[in-house]
């Protein structure tokens, strides 16, 4: 079975059809820039372009940078506040003409890694951390997801963690890998004190550069890059849509 997976990020929106049995993309992914301000109508327009690019008429799964409860956006940190209160499932189903399921972006990336990637067979406590424009978190206990955690907003030095330890913060402040690793390590240590995970999985675009910072971390739990790298959001969005069908 194939489902179109779409990952809405702070800088880009990308998608591809996914074989939800194997986790493989069945076409080359297609990426467009996220509209400035990420207003609802503008984002819906980009998603529709991706749907049309693949001539898609079937189910669509979308990973979205916000907590999603029963399809409704509950918080806006890296998107327009106009999204709050919108039922994204219904809104994007109407915009695309397809049956759309929307889930939190870190949650769906975690679903992909647990099904096909670094989390396969891990039944202890696993925390997926996605590092990009912000910080996303997904917590799995016994293979089960605790949905809509927002630990990118954990306070460190009086600021949201994502203001200091996201990949966007690293690039914005032109941090060396050593300095960035120090900030990321402090964030992971805070998470470790709260949850004592057995494994951290690092996702997002920065996961493919993991050799620059993971060896510098000192947390007790194992820390490994996502196997699916930056495709986890696409694959996981498709899996979330399958679960909802």
Confidence class of residue 11 from pLDDT cuts 50, 70 and 90? confident
Q: Tokens for 225?
A: 């890059």
Mean pLDDT of 186-211: 95
**Domains of the chain, with CATH numbers?**
2-105+232-244 (3.30.420.40), 118-226 (3.30.420.40)
Asked if pLDDT for residue 245 goes beyond 80, the answer is: no
Q: In angstroms, rounded to a whole number, what is the distance separating the alpha carbons of residues 9 and 7? A: 6
pLDDT tens, 168-182?
999 999 999 999 999
Average pLDDT of the residues of the chain: 95
Q: What is the pLDDT of residue 47?
A: 98
User: Can you give the pLDDT at residue 52?
Assistant: 98
Enumerate the H helices of 117-166 as residue ranges. 161-165
pLDDT, position 77: 80
Threshold 0.85, pTM exceeds: yes
| Helices 88-96 and 40-53, axial angle in degrees (round to 10) | 50
Q: Are 82 and 199 in contact (CB under 8 A)?
A: no
Q: What pLDDT does 133 receive?
A: 87
Look up tokens 């990637």; give the residue: 117
pLDDT at 239 exceeding the cut of 90: yes
pLDDT confidence of residue 142: 94
Q: What is the pLDDT of residue 165?
A: 96
pLDDT at 10: 84
Q: What is the pLDDT of residue 43?
A: 97
210: pLDDT confidence band, cut at 50, 70 and 90?
Answer: very high
**Taking each helix axis from N to C terminus, what angle separates 105-116 and 232-244, rounded to the nearest 10 degrees?**
90
- Cα–Cα nearest to 15, from 43, 54, 71: 54
| Percent over 90 (pLDDT), the chain | 91
């Amino acid at each position: 079975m194939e489902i179109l997976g779409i990952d809405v990020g702070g800088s880009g929106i990308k998608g591809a059809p996914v074989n939800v049995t194997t986790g493989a993309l069945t076409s080359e992914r297609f990426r467009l820039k996220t509209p400035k301000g990420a207003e609802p109508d503008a984002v819906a327009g980009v998603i529709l372009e991706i749907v049309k690019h693949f001539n898609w008429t079937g189910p669509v799964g979308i990973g979205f940078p916000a907590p999603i409860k029963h399809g409704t956006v509950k918080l806006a940190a890296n998107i327009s506040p106009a999204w709050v209160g919108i039922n994204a499932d219904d809104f994007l189903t109407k915009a695309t003409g397809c049956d759309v399921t929307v889930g939190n972006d870190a949650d769906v990336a975690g679903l992909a890694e647990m099904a096909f990637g670094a989390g396969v067979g891990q039944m202890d406590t696993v925390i997926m951390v996605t590092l990009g424009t912000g910080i996303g978190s997904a917590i799995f206990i016994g293979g089960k997801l605790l949905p809509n955690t927002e630990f990118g907003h954990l306070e460190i030095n009086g600021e949201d963690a994502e203001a200091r330890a996201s990949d966007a913060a690293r690039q914005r402040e032109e941090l060396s890998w050593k300095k960035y690793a120090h900030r990321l390590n402090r964030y992971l240590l805070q998470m470790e004190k709260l949850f004592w995970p057995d494994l951290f999985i690092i996702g997002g675009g920065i996961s493919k550069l993991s050799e620059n910072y993971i060896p510098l971390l000192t947390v007790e739990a194992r820390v490994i890059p996502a196997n699916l790298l930056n495709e986890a959001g696409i694959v996981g969005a498709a899996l979330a849509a399958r679960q909802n069908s």
